[in-house]
Chain A
Amino acid sequence: MRAISPRSIRGEFRGRLGGFALDASFCVPATGITGLFGPSGCGKSTVLRCLAGLQHLPGSLCEVDGDVWQDDATFLKPHQRPIGYVFQEASLFQHLTVKANLLYGAPRGDAGAAAGAIGFDEVIELLGLVRLLDRAPRNLSGGERQRVAIGRALLSQPKLLLMDEPLSALDRLTKDEILPFLERLHARLSLPVIYVSHDMTEIERLADHLILMRAGGVIGVGPLSEVQSNPALPLATARDAAVNVDAVAESYDPGYGLLTLRIDGGRLLVPSPPMQPGERRRIRIGAGDVSLARAAPQATSILNALSARIVTTSPVGPNEMLVVLALGADGNGARLLARVTRRSWDQLQLAEGLDLFAQVKGVALAPERGLAGELTK
């Protein structure tokens, strides 16, 4: 008998759909945002539809937070699953006002007022819908529609929110308008989310965990930075490889406009507008922005040199090496990626297990992430 693990989302979906074969297995925590990432046509949306019960692949398995939604004996229909689903196109009900759309799936009576329920006022405030309530869907902009669709899904009081490329139908500006809303959701609500996207910048801003898909299969699962820094997976070897690290503001030097951020295994100095100590931000460090030094660098313009240990390495192309680093003197901190030439690798006599210094030339600080941000790790 297989043990059903609470606080996790397990999916094993296999089957054929037309000419497409899906064989995707994963188990991720039922907390925070899990990105489901891969190129177009790799089966991400099909996995999401299977989780929702919109697609029935016999012989598959789906368990969410201790409840069996599908196994050999069970198949819950979509309306029997406590999910919220946000489609790529907002798909609002055209015959209902915004308010009626929002309340369509909301439980009536006592169930709606239950403790821990997501409140109507909270949702319209969070998503900025106050002025839109009496409008008809056809008179909304694309971004407004998608915000209503997200609110509608939330108000059905789901235990799992499924989002199928909710921003991909929107233009750049509208995306930037919605992303902060999603980040606020993430910070304010404890709802687990599976977020499908083929846009890595969305994943980097939102996801805590990542399921990496390719050609109908899952090739990597784990915490975001772990999947990003796994040299066996395509994210780490990509030209624009980077790792996202969650950081906490420690102090601010107004004279130089420099912020000190604490990350797991070190501290970083970052030029930034002032931030309150304790504020949490996600930073992005590109593999091309990290260089390596055997000795503590002196007389350099680079602000950040962190002690680190080489965890593993793999050649990329004919002349470069990808180096996976663990920060901290004991090599137990956050993972970083560095890309160096093979010539440097040989001249510095670098090797796995070696302790050295990682010089970080640039750190991208994600925009503000909600108010009562919590580290979801």
Chain B
Amino acid sequence: MTNLPPDIWQPVWLTVELAVITTVILLIVGTPIAWWLSRSKAAWKEGVAAVVAMPLVLPPTVLGFYLLVLMGPDGPGGALASLWGGRTLAFTFGGLVFGSVIYSMPFVVQPIRNAFDAIGDRPLEVAATLRASPLKAFWTVAVPLARPGFLAGAVLGFAHTVGEFGIVLMIGGNIPGRTKVLSVAIYDYVETSQWREANILAGGMAAFAFVVILTMMMLEKRTARIRQ
């Protein structure tokens, strides 16, 4: 039995890093968006909702292409990169994070928005009549009550970031240690007929997905029991 290539775990750690950072950013950015979509009475809010949801239906290559244009040397991403002496955001880890945030956005925003919708106005009105400022009401009432939505959003956002392939290839390329994530690595191994390595990574991912989802479900069940 030949030894595994020494760099086989590198894409795994890179992928975990990417998914963790993306999920954290999405929770920070997505929560106010979800709140606004849930509470605003603006007529154009469904337009914003549609824009947020677009990655659900766009082919990853289309999204990847536009992200590439956006982040390339001639786009705003290039201008941004020049601030620290770079030429482009494409083919960097930062670019990958940016792209992941965009295409995983609906998977985080949608469950959180649904959870906020499900709370309704009443608990927040009650909080207001108990002297809670809108900010306090949000943190002490809306967020705890929407917790299943946050949990679902975080899991979906994380998993979807781990699993994305098309966009990563378009904007990240395949640079080992910088942008070569798991899905691309599996593709590479298959391309070069290293089926055993592909199998290890793919099987590991399947096991990982199973464990994450099972853990989340059991966590939720336990908290539901504690609350009773």
Interface check A78, CB cutoff 8 A = yes
Interchain CB contact under 8 A, B131 and A156: yes
Interchain CB contact under 8 A, B122 and A79: no
A136-B129 contact in complex given A91-B123, A93-B141, C-beta closer than 8 Å? no
Interface check B132, CB cutoff 8 A = yes
Question: Across the interface, which residues of B come within 8 angstroms of A153, CB to CB?
Answer: 129-130
Total interface residues on B, CB under 8 Å, equals 20
Interface check A83, CB cutoff 8 A = yes
Interface check B59, CB cutoff 8 A = no
Interchain CB contact under 8 A, A138 and B228: yes
Question: Across the interface, which residues of B come within 8 angstroms of A89, CB to CB?
Answer: 122
The A/B interface has a contact count, at CB < 8 Å, of 64
Question: Across the interface, which residues of B come within 8 angstroms of A117, CB to CB?
Answer: none
Interchain CB contact under 8 A, A78 and B228: no
Q: Which listed residue, B123, B129, B133, B147, touches A93 by the CB 8 Å rule?
A: B123
**Number of chain A interface residues as a range:** 20 to 34
Question: Across the interface, which residues of A come within 8 angstroms of B126, CB to CB?
Answer: 85, 87, 91, 93
Interchain CB contact under 8 A, B123 and A52: no
Q: How far is the CB of B15 from chain A (nearest CB, A)?
A: 34
Contact residues of A: prevailing secondary structure: loop
Interchain CB contact under 8 A, A54 and B227: no
Q: How far apart sit A53 and B128, CA to CA, in the bound complex (Å)?
A: 10
Interface check B202, CB cutoff 8 A = no
Q: How far is the CB of B141 from chain A (nearest CB, A)?
A: 6
Interchain CB contact under 8 A, B123 and A83: no
Closest to B227 in A: A136
Question: Across the interface, which residues of B come within 8 angstroms of A87, CB to CB?
Answer: 122, 125-126
Interface check B145, CB cutoff 8 A = yes
Q: How far apart sit A85 and B122, CA to CA, in the bound complex (Å)?
A: 12
Q: Can you name 12 extra interface pairs (CB under 8 A) apart from A82-B131, A156-B129?
A: A85-B126, A91-B123, A91-B126, A93-B126, A93-B141, A93-B145, A104-B130, A105-B131, A105-B132, A136-B228, A153-B129, A156-B131
Give B residues with C-beta under 8 Å from A. Answer: 122-123, 125-134, 137, 140-141, 144-145, 147, 227-228
Give A residues with C-beta under 8 Å from B. Answer: 52-54, 77-79, 82-85, 87, 89, 91, 93-95, 104-105, 107, 136, 138-139, 152-153, 156, 162
Show 5 A/B contacts (Cβ-Cβ < 8 Å), sorted by A: A78-B125, A79-B131, A91-B123, A107-B131, A156-B130
